[in-house]
A = this chain, B = another copy of it.
């Protein structure tokens, strides 16, 4: 951990609030952290950055930003069926601001504690507001899910509901009042860690929905050299989304809106009962929304009456794009 002199106070603040884990041999305060993996576990590493004005509005509440910066990384670990363990945080701030940092840590450490993740290092620097997190998880050898394991004939499943985060962004852009339930999904996404772990050994391929379902499913299809058919009217929607949007507007938010951080996974038809039991166990709803095809690279989207449906755009558009 390095810092300019004015940043030492921030680091000291941060250090006082960090939880311990027995496998952290050396945490914040030296040139690097030292971590001890349990025998027979592989290391899983994800790294994602959120930039002000690109990934979030400048005036996002610091606690929401702290939560989300960790959540998007834990979501990547969830998609690999990994168990989160440690993280590092690099925070660029226009000025040292202890109140802002306290708020940020409220959100960041709230989520970290829920998943027993220890913050073990990183740095604070001066610069335009930006948050970079590296999350470390553990997985048994060959126990991870990947994007490349989908097979023709698999069901395509989605956890939770889709479109809420994009719905909140849409309302924000058009100047409407933002529905609090939608806003919560945008600001405080739930990384599906337990669901991801429960799917290991049952599901074939898995990805988290950050860029939008169709864009992320396209990643799976490309990596697995398969195609997919998605029933846009089968996509699960929250009560709040149904109340705020209908018809093609809602379909577009669900199929192409990003930032939901649900898991999209594929599994053989024979696994349906096992999946329903596993999802019930971790209290996460999961819905079948389509199938993997051998139509390499092509995703067909249809409505409930079987007609082809074309999304207004093909993928996620960042906040300020």
Residues of A within 8 A of B (CB): 1-5, 25-26, 29-37, 39, 42-55, 72, 75-77, 79-80, 82, 86, 88-90, 92, 120-123, 125-128, 130, 132, 134-137, 139, 141, 144, 146-148, 206-208, 210-211, 215, 223, 314-318, 321
Contacts and interface: CB of A to CB of B under 8 A. Distances in A.
Contacts of A130: 51, 92, 127-128, 130
A3 B128 CA distance: 20
A34 B82 CA distance: 10
A133 to B, nearest CB: 9
17 contacts: A2-B211, A4-B315, A4-B318, A4-B321, A5-B314, A30-B80, A31-B79, A31-B147, A31-B208, A32-B77, A32-B79, A33-B45, A35-B44, A37-B43, A47-B89, A47-B121, A127-B128
Nearest to A144: B34
A44 B86 CA distance: 12
Contact of A34 (B42, B53, B206): B42
Nearest to A128: B128
A29 B45 CA distance: 12
